[in-house]
Homo-oligomer: A and B are copies of this chain.
């Protein structure tokens, strides 16, 4: 296994997409040296963006969180989230009615900005579903799982509607050893019980990569071969980047440990173009 220096890898590209968790930060905060790395590649003329499976907050709120954690470089315009793709979908495809959301009020406020009326799953009355036009899964918090998971199944049995999963991740880390169940895991529970086909946004699905690529191309013209995706997860960042046709760099600072990297790559057949210990080495 050939471990390369991240700086040398990055210098071959004009644009770098970073995953957030496990790459720039973890549950304790931003990794030491990340700020300096970002400043350095920017000085070298490399643009960078954060591609994150997150629909719990707006890009503005995500940027505020980076600011608080000591990374003011990551401003709102540098963030591309799966929530943005979900919002884009709602804007194009849902023209009327109420959108039921599973998530916090904060997550709902973001999708309301396209002019849609929202209602929390907790407040839905199953005897009055006429006006409901879609169900969107935004966050694992903000509702009562004992009551509202069953309510979501019954809602979908009563009325056929698009179901949007705004984050494909099934778990997320909440400490060094423990995970929490994420929106994608809840979707995996509800989909077979309701027997509907859900629409999922977020890495590895190519739509978020395409959204990011189009977005960057609106700022300066680039080609796919000039873009690098940097991530810590083979099954989202690396396979997603590979499939979209851009180069990929696995960093060993998150989900994949150095000692297991070779085995995991061989056993999944998901092959990054580069492997680096971290973005700061």
Contact = CB atoms under 8 A, between A and B. Distances in A.
Interface residues of A, number: 58
Contacts of A163: 269
B144 A92 contact: no
Q: Looking at A144, A207, A224, which has the most chain B CB atoms within 10 Å of its CB?
A: A207
A245 B188 contact: no
B88 A245 contact: yes
A243 interface: yes
Interface string A135-167: 000000000111001100110111011110000
Contacts of A89: 243, 245
Contacts of A188: 188-189, 192
Contacts of A4: none
B88 A160 contact: no
A28 interface: no
A177 B195 contact: no
B193 A171 contact: yes
Interface stretch (A36-44, A63-71, A260-268): A260-268
A195 B189 CA distance: 15
Contacts of A205: 206
Interface in A175-219: 177-181, 185-186, 188-189, 192-199, 205-207, 210
Interface string A240-281: 001111100000000000000000011111110000000000
Contact of A199 (B156, B160, B181, B242): B242
A5 interface: no
A161 B92 contact: no
A12 interface: no
Contacts of A146: 144-146
A189 B196 contact: no
A225 interface: yes
17 contacts: A93-B242, A145-B145, A150-B180, A150-B181, A153-B171, A157-B178, A157-B179, A160-B265, A161-B269, A161-B271, A170-B193, A171-B193, A186-B189, A188-B192, A195-B269, A199-B239, A210-B210
